[in-house]
């Protein structure tokens, strides 16, 4: 058992406290630059720093956000006035999270499939991040649906990596967010999404047990069971909620404190509506908290508005706050589409 067991349990509970979710802002420099370039924002360290300061200094953010996941560059940065971001977060009561994987790379022998890397030197990096104030971590595995894929090779390699990462995190005092993402990309049906998500979660929980990961000291970050983006028939919000909860209930032990979904390219409104339906219709059947750990579905509107123009920081922060609050409502089953039209202010 980890010497940090009690602390890890308390952190995991705090991450999924009622009405709270997690803000993913751990885009690698490559991904962040791609999003900046699409809006004509210079892809410099200073612009990335300014954008991350915009997010972390959003007034009222902690009303909806329990913790934020940072990238290695970001955890070392400070506000323009010289306050370390880690201090800003501590002062706001927002837990510090850190992405520790080093990315999804081509999986040898398996065309069109990826395996996530980052185990080399991970124990030492975890120790450094803990010293810097981090209390949880993230590792994202990517599963692609296509002709004859995912392969068993891909599912097992990714599940093994997630479990080895999670065990190292718990040894070093960080709550692992275990993120197996089944991509929305493709023309697959809702039923195929269910089958692949089911197989993925089976592999992940088998490996977590093999690696002796304490299930009450982790958070699962799955994708929803959803129609492929190019599927001609798009499942309804009710169907997504029903199939997702069914898949999770048959795979995720009750001991896991919380499930925090990624948004995976869903629209803002769909990401909120799906999460809301799960909580409104099935909340009383779920042994774990069901909430969000969104990046794009919280950030994108604010990023589009700011677009590198610092005179728009205040307005962009209000847009960010708004999406965080709407998803907080959804995590309690209290979101309504009409709320999209209502003013929301701090």
Applying CB under 6 A, the residues found at the interface with ligand 13P are 24, 140, 179, 262-264, 294-297
Instruction: Verify whether residue 138 is a known catalytic residue.
Output: no
* Pick 244 or 263: Cβ nearer ligand 13P: 263
Q: How many CB atoms lie within 10 A of CB 231?
A: 17
Least Cα distance to 220 among 252, 259, 162, 249 occurs for 259
Least Cα distance to 241 among 270, 274, 192 occurs for 274
Strands 114-116 and 104-106: antiparallel
| Structure tokens, 62 | 């902690």
* Pick 2 or 134: Cβ nearer ligand 13P: 134
CA angle 276, 297, 344 (to 5 degrees): 70
Minimum distance of ligand 13P from residue 184's CB (angstroms) = 9
Minimum distance of ligand 13P from residue 300's CB (angstroms) = 8
* Pick 125 or 221: Cβ nearer ligand 13P: 221
Rg, Å, the chain Cα set = 19
* Cα distances (Å, whole numbers) of residue 246 to 23, 194, 225, 281, 320: 25, 9, 10, 12, 31
Minimum distance of ligand 13P from residue 297's CB (angstroms) = 5
- Residues pairing with 106 in the sheet: 114
| Sequence-distant contacts of 333-338: CB under 8 A, at least 24 apart | 333/276, 333/279, 333/280, 333/281, 333/283, 334/276, 334/280, 335/272, 335/273, 335/275, 335/276, 337/269, 337/273
* Pick 100 or 262: Cβ nearer ligand 13P: 262
Burial string for 103-139 (b: 16+ CB within 10 Å, else e) reads ebeebeebeebbbbebbeebeebbeebbeebbbbbbb
Minimum distance of ligand 13P from residue 196's CB (angstroms) = 17
Tell me how long the chain is: 346
Least Cα distance to 266 among 294, 232, 306, 247 occurs for 294
Residue written as tokens 């991350």?
52
Q: Which of 179, 181, 242, 325 is flagged as catalytic?
A: 179
* Pick 265 or 283: Cβ nearer ligand 13P: 265
Minimum distance of ligand 13P from residue 120's CB (angstroms) = 20
Distance between CA atoms of 199 and 194, rounded to whole angstroms? 9
Instruction: Verify whether residue 179 is a known catalytic residue.
Output: yes
Minimum distance of ligand 13P from residue 341's CB (angstroms) = 23
Q: Which of 99, 221, 242, 325 is flagged as catalytic?
A: 221
* Pick 62 or 263: Cβ nearer ligand 13P: 263
Residues recognised as catalytic = 179, 221
């Amino acid at each position: 058992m980890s010497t940090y067991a009690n602390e890890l349990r308390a952190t995991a509970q705090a991450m999924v406290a009622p009405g709270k979710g997690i803000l993913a802002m751990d885009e690698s420099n490559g991904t962040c630059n791609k999003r900046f370039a699409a809006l004509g924002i210079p892809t410099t360290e200073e612009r990335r720093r300014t954008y991350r300061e915009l997010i972390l200094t959003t007034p009222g953010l902690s009303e909806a956000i329990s913790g934020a996941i940072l990238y290695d560059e970001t955890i070392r940065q400070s506000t323009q006035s010289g306050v370390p971001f880690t201090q800003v977060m501590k002062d706001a009561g927002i837990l510090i999270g850190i992405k520790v994987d080093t990315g999804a790379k081509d999986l040898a022998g398996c065309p069109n499939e990826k395996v996530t890397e980052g185990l080399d030197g991970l124990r030492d990096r975890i120790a450094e991040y803990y010293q810097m104030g981090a209390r949880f971590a993230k590792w994202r595995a990517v599963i692609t649906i296509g002709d004859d894929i995912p392969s068993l090779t891909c599912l097992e390699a990714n599940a093994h990596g997630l479990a080895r990462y999670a065990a190292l995190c718990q040894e070093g005092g960080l709550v692992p967010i275990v993120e197996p993402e089944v991509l929305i990309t493709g023309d697959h049906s809702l039923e195929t999404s269910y089958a692949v998500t089911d197989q993925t979660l089976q592999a992940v929980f088998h490996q977590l047990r093999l690696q002796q990961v304490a299930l009450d000291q982790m958070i699962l970050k799955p994708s929803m069971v959803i129609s492929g983006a190019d599927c001609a028939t798009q499942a309804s919000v009710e169907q997504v909620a029903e199939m997702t909860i069914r898949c999770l209930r048959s795979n995720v032990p009750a001991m896991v404190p919380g499930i925090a979904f990624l948004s995976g390219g869903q629209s803002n409104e769909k990401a909120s509506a799906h999460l809301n339906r799960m909580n409104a219709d099935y909340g009383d059947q779920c042994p774990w908290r069901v909430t969000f750990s969104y990046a794009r579905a919280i950030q994108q509107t604010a990023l589009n508005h700011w677009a590198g123009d610092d005179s728009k920081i205040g307005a962009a922060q209000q847009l960010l706050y708004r999406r965080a609050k709407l998803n907080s409502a959804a995590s309690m089953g209290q979101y309504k589409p009409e709320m999209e039209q209502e003013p929301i202010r701090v």
